[in-house]
Every structure is written in structure tokens, then in C-alpha cells.
């Protein structure tokens, strides 16, 4: 499916915001040398988002069907989820990373035809999406983050919907029966831009602390 000029403009804007966020994460990584490991998966996630957007601009939406792109794109929700767990719930972070590593390996095997189960994407994307949704809420509740950090939950909700819609498409069953390929690709660039704005709003003020 071809991208329109509007799609390309939205992807370009999304990429520029992602680069800005990466820059802020890198700054915070250097400044917070005693507690900065959680920035690494976040930087990775938004770097993948930027590269994915560039590839879609250059090669249209069809590039998203390539196995290697599907695999690497998984690092977006996984990286954000791991970053949140490493920052706010360190004692569970190792187990969580192992769980998502298993999921990542299964996704690799699925995309190269080694396994055929269609449940891998929905299961692991749901876990990552729920993590991105709930952890900021709990962090705000426990006074570990400012109220503006709710932007991460908003971004997580949006990426969760988009990710699940793509995951169900990959499983051959549109999410809720209405998120067909045509619908998903029609709103995908808007989803990516909106979720990136949500993450930026949530994180920029938070990392100043």
C-alpha cells in the first residue's frame, strides 16, 4: 500500500520528534551516570521508530510486511516497556526482560517460518502494551513521577491499539473485526505521531528531575 503525501509528512514529523526525544534521553543518560541504564532501551525504541518511519517514506507501507522489519519493530514497544520497568520496578526488571527476550526469540522464529503459532504477537505485544499503560499510572500514584507522566500512558494506549491491530492482522484476523489492513494503514501515521507526542510530553518534564 502506497503512502500519501500526508502520510509522508506525518512520518517526517514523527521522526523529528523521535530524534528530539532521543537527544533528550542521551543528555539525561550522560547527566544521570549513577542511574541511567533505563535510558538505553528507550533510546533503542525511538531510534527504531525513526528508522522505521524513514523506511516507510522511502518504500511505502509494504516494507512493514518484511520479516526483518517486523522483528526490529518489536523493539519499539518492548524497549519502552523495559525502560519503564528498569526505572520504576528494578527488582522485577530482570524477570521481565527474560520474558520479553523469550517473546522476541519467538517472534524471530515466527517470521522466518520456524514456528507457526499466531498467538505470539498478541500475547507479548499485549504484555508490553499493558506495561506501558499501567506503570506510569502506578509511578504517579506512588509519587515517583509527576502527573504529566500520564502522557506515557496515553502514548502507550495509542501504540497498544496500533500494535495490537497490526498483530491481529499478522494473525489473519482483524482486531474487533473492523481494523482491516485498509483501516489500519489509513490511520497508522496518525497513531505513530500521536503516541510519539504523548511520550514526549510525558518524558521531557520527567527526565529534568
DSSP 34-54: TS-TTHHHHHHHHHHHHHHHH
Q: Which structural domain, as residue segments, surrounds residue 24?
A: 5-206
| pLDDT tens readout for residues 186-209 | 778 888 899 999 999 999 888 876
Please tell me which residue, 185 or 79, carries the higher pLDDT value.
79
CB 133 within 8 Å of CB 159: no
Average pLDDT, the chain: 87
Q: Based on the structure, what is the number of domains in the chain? A: 1
**For residue 142, is pLDDT > 90?**
yes
**For residue 179, is pLDDT > 80?**
no
**Between vectors from CA 203 to CA 157 and to CA 99, what angle results, nearest 5°?**
55
Q: pTM, whole model, 2 decimals?
A: 0.89
pLDDT, mean of residues 5-10: 91
204 vs 209: CA distance, rounded Å: 10
Instruction: Kindly report which listed range (11-25, 55-69, 124-138) carries the lowest average pLDDT score.
Output: 55-69
In terms of Cβ atoms closer than 10 Å to its own Cβ (0-12, 13-18, 19+), residue 2 is exposed
| pLDDT tens readout for residues 50-61 | 999 999 999 888
Amino acid at each position: 500500500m502506497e503512502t500519501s503525501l500526508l502520510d509522508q509528512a506525518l512520518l517526517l514529523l514523527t521522526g523529528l520528534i523521535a530524534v528530539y526525544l532521543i537527544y533528550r534521553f542521551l543528555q539525561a543518560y550522560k547527566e544521570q551516570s549513577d542511574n541511567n541504564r533505563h535510558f538505553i532501551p528507550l533510546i533503542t525504541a525511538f531510534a527504531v521508530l525513526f528508522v522505521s518511519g524513514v523506511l516507510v517514506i522511502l518504500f511505502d507501507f509494504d516494507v512493514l510486511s518484511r520479516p526483518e522489519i517486523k522483528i526490529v519493530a518489536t523493539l519499539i514497544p518492548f524497549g519502552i516497556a523495559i525502560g519503564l520497568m528498569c526505572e520504576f520496578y528494578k527488582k522485577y526488571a530482570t524477570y521481565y526482560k527474560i520474558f520479553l527476550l523469550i517473546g522476541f526469540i519467538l517472534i524471530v522464529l515466527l517470521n522466518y517460518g520456524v514456528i507457526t503459532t499466531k498467538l505470539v504477537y498478541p500475547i507479548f505485544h499485549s504484555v508490553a502494551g499493558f506495561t506501558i499503560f499501567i506503570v506510569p499510572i502506578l509511578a504517579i500514584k506512588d509519587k515517583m513521577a509527576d502527573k504529566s507522566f500520564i502522557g506515557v500512558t496515553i502514548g502507550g494506549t495509542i501504540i497498544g491499539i496500533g500494535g495490537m491491530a497490526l498483530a491481529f492482522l499478522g494473525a489473519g484476523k482483524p482486531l474487533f473485526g473492523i481494523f482491516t489492513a485498509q483501516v489500519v494503514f489509513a490511520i497508522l501515521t496518525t497513531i505513530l505521531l500521536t503516541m510519539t507526542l504523548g511520550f514526549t510530553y510525558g518524558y521531557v518534564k520527567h527526565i529534568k528531575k
